[in-house]
């Protein structure tokens, strides 16, 4: 049973979210990626903790290669944090929750 509160988005929704959300956290992930499973609960925690102030979404890189390539990403997990539609922070690999929360704190 999965209790993900973070929705998966497709490429078509991505640009809309970028223009709409003040702070957008994007978790680039894949079903086969072990380390991504470690980042996933941290994204849920982030979404919970900051639910009124930012939006957290996931992008499955297998289904959305153009977005992945657009940001020059080569490995996952990769978390990109946007402020007002502009890339503000990139966190590659598994990181402690504090790294994600302090990154968004700076932008809120």
Q: Name the active-site residue from 36, 47, 79, 81.
A: 36
* 54 given a catalytic annotation: no
Q: Where are the domains of the chain?
A: 7-94
What does CATH list as the number for 7-94?
A: 3.40.30.10
50, 94 contact by CB (below 8 A): no
- d(CA 89, CA 16) in angstroms, rounded, equals 19
Q: Name the active-site residue from 6, 33, 80, 81.
A: 33
Distances (CA, A) of 8 to 31, 99, 108: 12, 22, 23
Per-residue pLDDT for the chain (108 aa), expressed as one digit of tens each? 344 568 899 988 999 999 999 999 999 999 999 999 999 999 999 999 999 999 999 999 999 999 989 999 999 999 999 999 999 999 999 999 999 999 999 999
Q: What pLDDT, in 10s, does the model give residues 12-35?
A: 899 999 999 999 999 999 999 999
* pLDDT score of 11: 87
* 1 given a catalytic annotation: no
* pLDDT score of 107: 97
pTM for the full model? 0.93
């Amino acid at each position: 049973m999965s209790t993900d509160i973070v929705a998966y988005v497709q490429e078509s929704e991505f640009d809309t979210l970028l223009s709409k959300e003040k702070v957008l956290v994007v978790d680039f992930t894949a079903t086969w990626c072990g380390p991504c499973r470690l980042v996933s609960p941290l994204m849920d925690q982030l979404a919970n903790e900051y639910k009124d102030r930012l939006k957290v979404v996931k992008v499955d890189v297998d289904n959305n290669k153009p977005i992945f390539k657009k940001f020059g990403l080569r490995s996952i997990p990769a978390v990109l944090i946007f402020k007002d539609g502009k890339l503000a922070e990139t966190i590659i690999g598994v990181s402690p929750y504090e790294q994600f929360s302090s990154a968004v704190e700076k932008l809120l």
